[in-house]
Structure 1
Amino acid sequence: MDNLSNSSGSTGNSANDRRHSSDHNSTTHTSPMDIDGAPAPIAAPARVVPPHQEVKIIHRDINTYVGFANLPKQWHRKSIRRGFNFNLLCVGQSGLGKSTLINTLFNKDIYDLHQSEIGEDDFVSNEEEEEDNDRVKIDTISTTIEENGVELNLTVIEAPGFGDFIDNTNSWEPIIDEINSRFDQYLDSENKIDRSNIIHEDNRIHACLYFIEPTGHNLKALDLKFMEMIHTKCNLIPIISKSDILDDNEIFEFKNVIKQQLLENNIEYFKPPTYAVDDSESIAMTEQLYDLIPYAIVGGEQGTRSRSYPWGIIEVDNPQHCDFVFLRDVLIKNFMEELREKTNTVLYENYRSNKLKSLGIKQDNSVFREYDPELKELEDKKLHEAKLAKLETEMKTVFQQKVSEKEKKLQKSESELFQRHKEMKDKLTKQLKALEEKKHQLEMSLANQVSNSPVQSKKKGFLR
C-alpha cells in the first residue's frame, strides 16, 4: 500500500511538474485525448521570439520621369515615316513667273523653264488648242521632295489661260469647280468603310498663291472677283510678281492700295497664327509676316537664286531686295502645318457642313448631350412658355380677327342704314315737290276759273 501511495504520489508530482511547466512556457495545449484520459502527447519545444527589429523605410522621390514627354518624339517619328502632303494652287496671268517661283521656292526644277508657262504643252495640236482656247484649263504636276530625311509629296495645280482672254467672264469657275471636286472626293473617302488611306489620298488644296500684275495702281476687277470667290475655300496668299520693276516707294504704296481694296471687299487672306507659348520675338516675327502681305516677289534666273541687271544684282534670298524669304517662311518653313490644319478644320468643315445641309441632312444635337434633369426641366419650361406664348398669340389673332369682322359688319350695316335713309329722304323730297307742283297747278287752275266766270250782282234781301 505504501508503495502504491508512493507511486501515486510520484505520479501526481510528475503531473504537477508537467502542469507547471505548461503554465510557465504557455506553449502546450490540452488535447481531447488528455481530457478522456488518454496519454498526453509530448510537448513541443518552446519557440523563442526574436526581439522586435526596426523596419527600414526607403524614401523615394515621387517626381520621377514618367515618359509622356517623349510624345513629341513619337509623333515626329510617325510623321517622318508617313511623310507629308502639300497641294499648292498657283493662279495668275501668263508671264508672271509662276514656274520660276515654284522652282525657286522648293529649290528643285519642278518645271522646265525652257518650255512655255506652267501647264502649257508644246506637243498639243493646233486643233486641240483651238477647242480649249476659250476655257481655263486645270493642269497638275506632282513630285516628291526630300530634305534631311523628310519627304514632301508636293502637288502644284495651275490654271493656264486665266486672265488671258479678251472676255474673262466666269473664268474662275473651272478653278472653283476643281476645289469643290477635291473636297467632294475627300468627303467620299471619309464615308467609305475602309478609311485607312484617307491621309495619303488627301488632295485638298492647302494654299493658293495669287499672282498680281505689278501695275503699281489698283487691282483689276478680275483680281477682286477671283479672290472674293476663292478666299472662303482655300488659304489665299496674294503676291506681287516681278516686283523688281517697281521701286521701294511704289511697292509700299501698291501694297497699301491692295490691302485697302481687299478690306473694302471683305476678302480675307491667310493670317499666320500666334500661340501662348510663343515668345515676344516669335510673335513680332509672325506679325511682321502678316503685315508684309502681299509679298513682293522676284524669281531667280535658271540655276541661280539671283537676277543680274546692268545696274546690279538682285538676290532672291536677301530680305532687303524682295519678300521671298518671308513667303517661304509662311508657305513652307514655319506655317505649312497651319495651312494644312486650317484647310482641314475650318475650310473643309465649312464646305462639308454646307454640302450636307444642302442634301437635307440634319444633325440632332440632343444625341450628343448628357442627360441633366435640371437642364431638362429648364428646357421643358421654355417649351411650355413658348407653347403658351404661341397659344396667346393665336388667341389674340383670332380675337382681333373676330373684332375686325364685327366692326366691318357694323360698318356695313351703318352704311346700309345711311343709304336707306338717304333713299327714303330723297323719295319724300320728290313726293313733296310733286305735291307742291300739283298744289300750284290747282291754285293756278282755280284762279283761271275765277277770272273767266261772269260777275253776278248781289241780291239784296234776306234770301239770296
Structure 2
Amino acid sequence: MERKFLKRGMNFNIILVGESGMGKTTLVNTIFAGHLVDSQGRRTVQGPQRKTTEIVPTTQVIEENNVTLRLTVVDTPGFGDQTNNEGCWVPVIKYIKDQHAAYLERELKPQRERSINDTRVHACLYFLNPGSKGLRPIDIEVLKRLTEVVNVIPVLAKADSTTVEERAAFKKRIKEELAMQRIQAYPYPSEEDDEEDIALNNKIKELSPFAVVGSENVFNENGAPVRGRRHAWGIINVDNPEHCDFVHLRNFMLRTHLYDLIEVTAQRHYESFRTQQLRQIKEMRAAQAQNATQMAQQQQQIQPGATLFKQQA
C-alpha cells in the first residue's frame, strides 16, 4: 500500500498572500531549494520594484527518495499598498473556492476519474510586514476570511530587518492580536491528537509567526557554501536556526505536517464547502419542485373555466 501510494504521488498546493515586496516567491524557492517560481521582485538593488498583477499558478513535479510531489505555487497580487484596498481579498477567496468547486464537479461526475487531480489549496503562507509592528486592520480582515477557507500559516517576512528583541516583541504582539480577534491559524487542535502531536503543535504555536529570511544566493564562508543574505555586518544563514525560523518552517510544512495539511483541507475546509453547496442545490431543487407544483395547480384551476367557455361558444 505504501509503495502504491508513493508511486501515485501527492498534490500539494500553496498560495502566497501578502504585500508586494515581501519576498514571497523567493521564500518558496528557498524552501524547495530550487528556482521553481520566477520572482517578480527587484533583479538588482537599484532595479525597479516589479509587482504581481494577477493570480499566477506555477506547477512543478518534484521527486525525492522515490516520492513524487506535484507542487503548485499560486502567487497573488500584493495588497495594502494601494490607496483603496477595499475588497482586495476577493480574488484570492474566489480562487480558493473555485478550486473547491472544480474538485466537487469532478467528484460528482457519473463516471469519476480513478485519481482526481487535486487543485485545492492546502496551505496559505500569509506574509506580515515587520515594519507594521502588528496586525493592520486590513490584515485582520483578510485573515478572518482566509481562515474560513484555507489553512493559514503566518510568517514574518524579511526577519533580518529586525533585531532579536524586536522580533520577539513582534511575535508576542501578533499572538495576542490573533487571540483577541479570534483568528485561528494552522495547526488546529484535534481529538485524534496524541501526546506527541499535542507537544509538536504547541511547539509550532510558540514559533508562529515564523520569522523567515529567503534567499537563493550562495556565499562562501570559511570554505563552506552558505545560503543567505549578505549585510555590512555579516551573512544571514537561512539554514541556521539561530538566525531565523526558516528551518522550522520548512520542516513544519514538508516533514511533520505535509500530509496533515492535505487531510485537514479535505476534511475541514472542503467538506464545509461541499456541504454548503449540496445544501444549496437541494434547496434550489425543492424550490423548483414547489414552483412546478404551483404552476400545475394554477393550470388545473384555469382549465375548467376554459372548457366551459368552449362549450358556451
Q: TM-score, normalised by structure 1?
A: 0.55
Q: Which runs of 5+ in 2 are unaligned?
A: 43-49, 219-225, 285-313
Q: Which runs of 5+ in 1 are unaligned?
A: 1-73, 118-128, 363-464
Stretch deviating more after TM superposition (81-90 or 245-254): 245-254
Indicate whether 1:215 and 2:131 are aligned. Answer: yes
Alignment of 1:279-428 (within 5 A): 283-303=198-218, 305-361=227-283
Distance apart, 1:243 and its partner CA: 0.8
Q: Distance in 1 between matches of 2:17 and 2:76?
A: 6
User: Of residues 23, 27, 30 in structure 2, which corresponds to 1:101?
Assistant: 27
Distance apart, 1:272 and its partner CA: 6.2
Distance apart, 1:216 and its partner CA: 5.5
> Which structure has the larger Rg over C-alpha atoms?
1
Q: Distance in 1 between matches of 2:163 and 2:41?
A: 28
Distance apart, 1:164 and its partner CA: 3.1
Distance apart, 1:83 and its partner CA: 0.8
One-letter amino acid of the counterpart of residue 81, structure 1: K
How many residues are matched?
270
Query: 1:268 aligns to what?
Result: 184
User: Of residues 121, 135, 138 in structure 1, which corresponds to 2:55?
Assistant: 138
Indicate whether 1:82 and 2:3 are aligned. Answer: no
Q: Larger RCO: Structure 1 or Structure 2 (Cα < 8 Å, ≥ 6 residues apart)?
A: 2
Change (3 A) 1:272 1:146: farther
| Identity percentage of aligned residues | 38
1:107-150 C-alpha deviation (Å, 9 max, x unpaired): 1111244x547xxxxxxxxxxx9xxx9x9621111111111121
Q: Distance in 1 between matches of 2:205 and 2:193?
A: 19
1 or 2, which has the higher strand percentage? 2
1:43-100 C-alpha deviation (Å, 9 max, x unpaired): xxxxxxxxxxxxxxxxxxxxxxxxxxxxxxx2x1011110110000001111111111
Change (3 A) 1:116 1:251: closer
Query: 2:164 aligns to what?
Result: 248
Distance apart, 1:278 and its partner CA: 5.8
Change (3 A) 1:264 1:247: same
Q: TM-score, normalised by structure 2?
A: 0.80
Q: Distance in 1 between matches of 2:191 and 2:273?
A: 26
Change (3 A) 1:181 1:173: same
Q: CA RMSD in A?
A: 2.4
Change (3 A) 1:327 1:272: farther
Contact 1:243 1:296 in 2 (8 A): yes
Query: 2:300 aligns to what?
Result: none
1 or 2, which has the higher helix percentage? 1
Alignment of 1:5-24 (within 5 A): none
